[in-house]
């Protein structure tokens, strides 16, 4: 189960995390989790380049190691990167020491002050340590693109009606998301530009 819109109780549980950016600015923040991988990250970068849009990629360390050229392309094309752990660990199922070491291992590659816990889940004790070094970026809109039971059309319906100023939208550059990302991302960007939103990276 996942929440398309970040619910109040999660925002209450994790008040130091960032769930959306300032609402007074007509900006939207596209974010991509889990890459970079050759099967979908180049497509995403091509689409962003076509529309001159910027985004933030929360990268998994082992994927950076496997695909350093794609990670470098993300940087070269002016996008932001964030830490998504080295092995995409579930915080709730990992001892704190192991989890924090995994974050640190990814940080050697990403060199960023942005962090997003995989599955948007980490324990309070893990986050207490992470908050000391990182801004933890959660989400305003979860596209659900990773859900194989979700049609591309329904995925688009998860996104467009929920967009507001300052929305942080989660997409994924992973294998499971490919059919939905390929359909939804161009249409989302076209909608945003038509409605005069600026597509910004999280700095």
Q: What total number of domains does the chain contain?
A: 1
Which of the residues 34, 84, 172, 173 is marked catalytic?
172
pLDDT of residue 156: 98
Which tokens go with 17? Answer: 């995390």
Identify the CATH number of the domain in which residue 14 sits: 3.20.20.370
| In-domain check, residue 1 | no
pTM: 0.96
Q: Is residue 2 part of a domain?
A: no
- Please confirm, yes or no, whether 33 is among the known catalytic residues: yes
Q: Which residues contact 9 (CB under 8 A, 6 or more apart)?
A: none
Tell me which of 33, 34, 140, 145 is the catalytic residue: 33
pLDDT means over runs of 10, the chain (203 residues): 83 92 97 98 98 98 98 98 97 96 98 96 95 97 97 98 98 98 98 98 95
Is 154 within a domain? Answer: yes
Q: At what angle do helices 178-194 and 41-50 cross, to 10 degrees?
A: 10
Domain of residue 149, residue span: 8-199
84 noted as active-site residue: no
Residue 6: the pLDDT is 85
User: Is 3 within the bounds of a domain?
Assistant: no
């Amino acid at each position: 189960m996942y929440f398309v819109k970040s619910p109040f109780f999660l925002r209450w549980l994790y008040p130091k995390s960032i769930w959306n950016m300032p609402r007074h600015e007509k900006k939207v923040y596209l974010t991509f989790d889990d890459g970079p991988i050759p099967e979908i990250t180049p497509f995403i970068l091509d689409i962003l380049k076509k529309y001159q849009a910027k985004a933030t990629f929360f990268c998994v360390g082992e994927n950076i190691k496997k695909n350093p050229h794609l990670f470098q392309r993300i940087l070269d094309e002016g996008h932001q990167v964030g830490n998504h752990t080295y092995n995409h660990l579930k915080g709730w199922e990992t001892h704190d020491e192991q989890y924090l070491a995994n974050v640190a291992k990814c940080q050697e590659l990403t060199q960023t002050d942005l962090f997003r816990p995989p599955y948007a889940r980490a324990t309070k004790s893990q986050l207490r340590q992470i908050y000391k070094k990182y801004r933890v970026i959660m989400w305003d809109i979860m596209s659900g693109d990773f859900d194989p039971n979700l049609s591309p059309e329904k995925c688009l319906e998860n996104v467009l009606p929920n967009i507001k100023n300052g929305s942080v939208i989660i997409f994924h550059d992973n294998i499971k998301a490919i059919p939905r990302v390929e359909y939804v991302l161009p249409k989302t960007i076209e909608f945003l530009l038509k409605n005069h939103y600026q597509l910004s990276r999280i700095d």
